[in-house]
Structures are given as C-alpha cells and as structure tokens.
C-alpha cells in the first residue's frame, strides 16, 4: 500500500545522517570525580525566578497586580531569595520593585530581593535605584561565556572580560562602597555566566577570577556565581562534572557561593539540578512547576518534594499544593500538566486495579497501627512516593475508577465514604459490576456513581433512600430461645406494602421465611448473614451495616441494610438479597408481586448482561 503522505513528508525533514549537522557534547576531564558518592543531607538555597525568567516567557506577561499577588504567594511558600524584576527593562518592572520596597511589611525580614541587569552601567544604575532601600538586595549581572554566543554577539573573550570587570567595579562603587547606599541596604552581588555549560572551562574560570578580584568577596560576604545551563545540551552527569571541576579550580572557593540555573530542554532539568547539588552547588534557581523559556526552567516544586519524600525538609511549604497550583494557573494562564510530578492531577492517583489494591492495603496497615497507638511507620506504600495528605491532598482523591480498575477501587470508596469493609466475595461481585458499568459508559465514573451503583444493586429501599426503607410499621424481631421470629410490615418503595411473618431456628432463615414465597419444586434456597459491622461513622442511617446473601441453586445475590439495631439490619439485609434472588425463581404471592417488579426494574444495573441504554438511570459525570 502507498505510504501515508503526511508522515512521509514529516520524516523526509529529518536528516538521514544527523551527524552532518549536529555534534555531540564535549565532556570535561574530571579525574578526581567524587560527586557520585555524595549524598544530599540538606536543601540548597532556593531562588525563585518566577517573576523574571518565568514572567518573560509568558504569552501575556503578568500585570503589576498579578506580580504583586504572585510575590505574596512566593513569600508564603517560604522563598528567601526572589528575583523580582529586570528593572531597566520597563517602567512597569521598575515601579513594581519600588512598590515592594516602599510598602511597609510586604517584604519580610530575611527575604532578599534580586534585580537582574546585563553588564551595562546604565542598566546597573537603574537596577540599584529600583532596589535602593530594601533591607537586603542583590544585583545579578551577567555576560555570555560560550564562544558561539560571543561570536554571534560580536564579542571577543578579551572584550567580555573587560566589560565584566568594569561593570562589576561600577556596581561596587554604587552599592557596597557607597556609604549612603550601603547604610540603607545590605548589598550582595551575583555574577552570571550565561551558557556556562557550553563554555570552555578555562575561560569560564578566568572571567570568574577577574570578577572576584573586582568585587573582593569575603568568607563572611561571599559572591554568588551563577552557572547557567541557558540551553540544556548534555546529560546531567556532564553538568555535575563541570560544577565539581569548577569549584575545585577556584582560587578561593570559600568566598564563592555557587548557584546553578538549569533549564529543561532535554527533559532532565531536575536531574541536572540534583547532580549539580551533589557536585557542590549551594543554590538552585528555578520556577514553580517548571515555567520558563522553551521547555522551562527547572521545576522547584519537584526538586523540593523529591527532598521531602526522602526525609529532608526543603524549608519550603507545599502543604496545600493544589491551592498553589490553582493560583499559579490563574495568574500565569498556564496549565500544570496532569502527569507533572506531585502536583499534576494524576501524579498521586491510581487507576490500575493492582496498584489500587496494594495502596489500599498499605493505607489500611498504617491505619491499624495508628489505632493500636503505635508510632507512625516509615512511609513505604508502593506507587505513592509521598503521603498525599502531607500536600493537602485528601486520600479520597487518590483512587480513580475506570474499566482498568478492579475490586480494590470499589472497596476503597466504600470504606472512605461509609467506613464499610465488605468481605472478599462481595468485593469481587461489586468490583465486576463497577467494571462493566465503566465499559458500558466508556468513561471514568465518579465516587458518587460508585456509591449509587452499590445502593441500586444491594439496597432494600429506593435509591433516594440510600438503602433504608421509607417507613417501618411495627417490625418485630424476637428470639424465645428456640425460634427466631420476624413479624411486621415494611414499605420498600413508596406505595408498596410487604407483609412479613416467619419463624425459624436462625435469624436469616426466619427473615427468608417471612416473605412467604412459593418456590419452584427443585429450588434449593439458603440465606446467610455474612457480615455485620459497626460503622466508624454515623451518616444518618444507623451504626450497624449487615451484609447478607440469598442463594437459589448455585446463584448467590448480596444485599445490605444499615440501622441502629443490629438484628433489624441483619433481617432487612436478608430480605434485600432475597427480593432479587427469589424474583428470578419464585411464583410470588400478590403481596410480593409489585415490589419484585419494581425491584427488577431497578436491578437492571446489577445484572451482568445489561444494555448500555440502561445506564441512563445513572446521572452523567459532572465536569
């Protein structure tokens, strides 16, 4: 057959010999490599560049009011260093910076504001004017150090070094060496090596040493050097080698704070940052949820929670992660992808039945330990790298239900909603019905729909009654020491009457006999009370839940009932199961005919061969 023309056109645009256009990356020699054996024991210093790198990458940059709200969110999270603006870029940027500083109480003590400026005196002056008066401020000035960028900018290496040194000396003169300026603000400087990861090591070191001599940092007042992977071009291990060799080559590393600024062009921004920390980086610059140019800056949420999930507090507060996500999406207009680590809609959720089952068992194991007063065990639940509740995510939300889900999903929902633990046989029965319903609807179903299906399948009353009978008149349950008896009248649906009168050696048989059903001659009927549980929560319909089966021949049908009285719950659970089971085999009396007819109509969903049209009884998914 003829090839797909569209695909053919696409593939012909890719080179058959890409090595003719692209080259591999140059690996730095690191004979004393030690970083692979290092272990993170504390978080790095975090710098948020959401209001600079993140903002400049938006289709519609943040307004002044949006930046104001975003800044407050960053402070609430706990960032101590925030790159707030490029003050020389526009009046909006300058005015926003001044507003932060001039408004009392907005910038907490201990929070350092950073302004960004290239190595130009007019831009540096404007940036210092914007930051003047802040308790703590930093100016980050930068220059490109990769040969390819210098080539396209028309710079030689010598010119780049000369411009960097002159600019840093000027910046020093108007900040820490200026008595008036330094009296009002505690100044620091960050020097950024743009495209450091693509630069020759010797040149990057040379320009850094020249800038150090110009600024004269001390151990007490170190200078920050920003090693930027402005465009990610190599594997994370290469970046780690570059950092380790760079630090080892510095003349006075104790006077330098190394900050890394990874991007995510190859999808390994987080890995580059983590290996960079192992290699000696002190600080990481990035954005919430990986916002930034192209594929984004490194995701500081993922980095922080990776640490937290290994027992290292990141000194950032993401205990209401979904709120932060909503604020981020509202302000930026971007959407956090559903598979984004930790924060994505599906990140801490399970659809697979096998995954759900082990999660359910793990949560139950922890719950049982807590009920026994035992210390909380180390978190080790498979498929959940972190406790969702630590991030403000209710456990109710971690189990999703679709055609791939098994009995574990239904069992989990029943327990979370009602505190009900159903036996294994009923788990299998109900889980199969849930799966068939998902297949018939061809979509995920909600927890509410699962509960509706449970009621419609196993309850005695109407769906609206949620498993109760609409009225009870003089239902009497007695035991004289020999016989159990059940007498009374119930109304399983509006306008329908069911007279009960029966006695037997056990309560289940007495409940079955109370229906007075004329069975077929060859039918063998058995009723059993399978499970009675005192529920953990009282949801308005009683404290005891009884589960029962009625078996005719080899076919067992389940029923349930909830009531304050244990015996009444058991009797009506048997009757609930019997009404369905017997209607398939009995010649009912007149008093039983109407309820059974109604019940059979309602029970379409509980059969294993229903038509998709029968699903119309279930309300549609609300979006």
For the residues 398-409, what does the mean pLDDT come to?
Answer: 89
My answer on whether 367 and 436 are in the same domain is yes
The enclosing domain of 150 has a CATH number of: 3.20.20.70
Please state, in angstroms and as integers, the Cα–Cα distance from residue 408 to each residue in 355, 434, 608, following that order.
9, 11, 19
The answer as to whether 620 is a domain residue is no
The answer as to whether 387 is a domain residue is yes
Q: What is the β-pairing status of strands 223-228 and 186-194?
A: parallel
Please state, in angstroms and as integers, the Cα–Cα distance from residue 154 to each residue in 121, 197, 280, 571, following that order.
19, 20, 33, 90
My answer on whether 179 and 267 are in the same domain is yes
My answer on whether 539 and 597 are in the same domain is yes
The enclosing domain of 498 has a CATH number of: 3.30.160
Give 616's DSSP letter. G
Cα separation, 237 vs 279, in Å, equals: 10
The answer as to whether 433 is a domain residue is yes
**Residues 139, 186 contacting (CB under 8 angstroms):** no
Q: pLDDT for 414-446, tens place per residue?
A: 988 888 888 888 999 999 999 999 999 999 999
Q: Which of 429, 463, 497 lies at the terminal end of a domain, its last residue?
A: 463
Q: DSSP 3-state helix, strand, coil percentages of the chain (rounded to 5)?
A: 45, 20, 35
The answer as to whether 343 is a domain residue is no
My answer on whether 454 and 484 are in the same domain is no
Q: pLDDT for 233-244, tens place per residue?
A: 999 999 999 999
pLDDT of residue 620: 31
The answer as to whether 505 is a domain residue is yes
Q: pLDDT for 150-205, tens place per residue?
A: 999 999 999 999 999 999 999 999 999 999 999 999 999 999 999 999 999 999 99
Q: pLDDT for 203-251, tens place per residue?
A: 999 999 999 999 999 999 999 999 999 999 999 999 999 999 999 999 9
My answer on whether 447 and 588 are in the same domain is no
My answer on whether 207 and 85 are in the same domain is yes
pLDDT of residue 456: 84
Residue with tokens 């992808």: 337
Confidence category of residue 488, pLDDT binned at 50, 70, 90: confident
Phi, psi dihedral angles at 82 (to 5 degrees): -135, 120
pLDDT of residue 25: 87
My answer on whether 393 and 487 are in the same domain is no
Domain ranges, residue 410: 353-463
Per the model's pLDDT, the better-predicted residue between 106 and 544 turns out to be 106
Q: Which of 463, 479, 507 lies at the terminal end of a domain, its last residue?
A: 463
My answer on whether 451 and 564 are in the same domain is no
Weakest-pLDDT range from 90-104, 134-148, 302-316, 538-552:
538-552
Q: pLDDT for 512-525, tens place per residue?
A: 888 876 555 555 67
My answer on whether 569 and 433 are in the same domain is no
My answer on whether 104 and 250 are in the same domain is yes
pLDDT of residue 600: 33
Burial of 200 (0-12, 13-18, 19+ CB in 10 A): middle
Could you tell me which residues are beta bridge partners of residue 485? Answer: 478, 503
My answer on whether 479 and 458 are in the same domain is no
Cα separation, 191 vs 226, in Å, equals: 6
Whole-prediction pTM? 0.85
The answer as to whether 593 is a domain residue is yes
The answer as to whether 622 is a domain residue is no
Residues 6+ apart with CB under 8 A from 155: 144, 163
DSSP helix/strand/coil, 253: helix
Per the model's pLDDT, the better-predicted residue between 502 and 254 turns out to be 254
Instruction: Rank 64-73, 449-458, 566-575, 601-610 by mean pLDDT and report only the highest.
Output: 64-73
The answer as to whether 421 is a domain residue is yes
Q: pLDDT for 169-178, tens place per residue?
A: 999 999 999 9
Q: pLDDT for 82-123, tens place per residue?
A: 999 999 999 999 999 999 999 999 999 999 999 999 999 999
Burial of 302 (0-12, 13-18, 19+ CB in 10 A): buried
pLDDT of residue 494: 53
Q: What is the domain count for the chain?
A: 3
Q: Which of 442, 463, 484 lies at the terminal end of a domain, its last residue?
A: 463
pLDDT of residue 596: 35
Mean per-residue pLDDT over the chain, rounded? 87
pLDDT of residue 500: 86
Cα separation, 90 vs 235, in Å, equals: 36
Tell how far CA 495 is from the center of its chain: 49
Q: Has residue 347 got a pLDDT over 80?
A: yes
My answer on whether 280 and 370 are in the same domain is no
Enumerate the H helices of 78-198 as residue ranges: 91-102, 121-131, 147-153, 157-173, 179-184
């Amino acid at each position: 057959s003829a090839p797909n023309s569209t695909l053919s056109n696409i593939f012909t645009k890719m080179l058959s010999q890409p090595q003719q256009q692209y080259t591999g990356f140059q690996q730095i020699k690191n004979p004393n490599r030690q970083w692979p054996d290092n272990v993170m024991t504390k978080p790095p210093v975090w710098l948020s560049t959401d209001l600079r790198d993140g903002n400049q990458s938006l289709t519609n940059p943040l307004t002044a009011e949006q930046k104001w709200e975003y800044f407050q969110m960053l402070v609430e999270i706990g960032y101590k260093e925030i790159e707030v603006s490029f003050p020389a870029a526009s009046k909006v940027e300058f005015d926003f910076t001044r507003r932060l500083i001039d408004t009392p109480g907005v910038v907490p003590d201990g929070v350092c504001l950073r302004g960004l400026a290239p190595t130009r005196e007019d831009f540096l002056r404007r940036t210092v004017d914007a930051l003047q008066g802040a308790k703590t401020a930093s100016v980050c000035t930068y220059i490109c150090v990769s040969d390819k960028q210098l080539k396209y900018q028309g710079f030689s290496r010598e010119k780049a070094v000369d411009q960097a040194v002159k600019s840093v000396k000027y910046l020093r003169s108007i900040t820490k060496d200026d008595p008036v300026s330094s009296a009002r603000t505690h100044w620091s400087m960050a020097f950024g090596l743009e495209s450091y990861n693509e630069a020759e090591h010797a040149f990057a070191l040379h320009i850094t040493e020249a800038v150090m001599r110009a600024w004269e940092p001390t151990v007490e007042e170190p200078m920050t050097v920003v090693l930027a992977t402005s465009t990610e071009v190599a594997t994370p291990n290469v970046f780690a080698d570059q950092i380790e060799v760079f630090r080892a080559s510095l003349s006075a590393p104790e006077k330098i704070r190394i900050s890394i600024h990874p991007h995510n062009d190859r999808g390994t921004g987080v890995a580059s940052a983590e290996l960079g920390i192992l290699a000696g980086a002190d600080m990481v610059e990035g954005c919430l949820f990986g916002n930034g140019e192209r594929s984004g800056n490194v995701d500081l949420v993922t980095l922080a929670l990776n640490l937290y999930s290994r027992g290292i507090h990141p000194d950032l507060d993401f205990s209401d992660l979904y709120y932060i996500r909503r604020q981020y999406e509202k302000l930026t207009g971007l959407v956090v992808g559903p598979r984004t680590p930790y924060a994505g809609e599906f990140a801490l959720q399970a659809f697979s039945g096998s995954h759900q089952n082990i999660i359910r068992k793990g949560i139950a194991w922890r719950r049982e330990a807590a009920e026994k007063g035992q210390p909380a065990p180390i978190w080790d639940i498979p498929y959940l790298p972190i406790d969702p509740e630590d991030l403000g995510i209710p456990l109710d939300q971690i189990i999703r239900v679709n055609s791939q889900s098994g009995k574990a999903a239904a069992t989990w929902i029943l327990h979370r909603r009602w505190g009900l633990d159903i036996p294994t046989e009923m788990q299998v029965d109900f889980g199969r019905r849930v799966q068939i319903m998902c297949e018939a609807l061809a979509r995920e179903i909600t927890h509410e729909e699962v509960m509706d299906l449970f009621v419609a399948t196993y309850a005695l009353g109407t769906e609206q009654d949620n498993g109760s009978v609409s009225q009870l008149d003089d239902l009497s349950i007695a035991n004289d020491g020999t016989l159990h008896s059940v007498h009374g009248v119930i109304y399983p649906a509006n306008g329908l009457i069911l007279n009960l009168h029966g006695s037997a050696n056990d309560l289940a048989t007495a409940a079955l006999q109370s229906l007075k059903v004329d069975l077929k001659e060859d039918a063998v009927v058995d009723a059993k009370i399978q499970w009675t549980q005192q529920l953990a929560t009282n949801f308005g319909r009683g404290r005891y839940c009884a589960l029962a089966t009625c078996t005719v021949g080899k076919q067992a049908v389940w029923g349930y009932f909830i009531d304050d009285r244990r015996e009444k719950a058991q009797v009506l659970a048997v009757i609930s199961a019997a009404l369905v089971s017997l209607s398939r085999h009995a010649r009912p009396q007149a008093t039983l005919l109407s309820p059974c007819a109604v019940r059979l109509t309602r029970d379409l969903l509980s059969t294993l061969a229903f038509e998709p049209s029968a699903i119309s009884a279930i309300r549609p998914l609300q979006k």
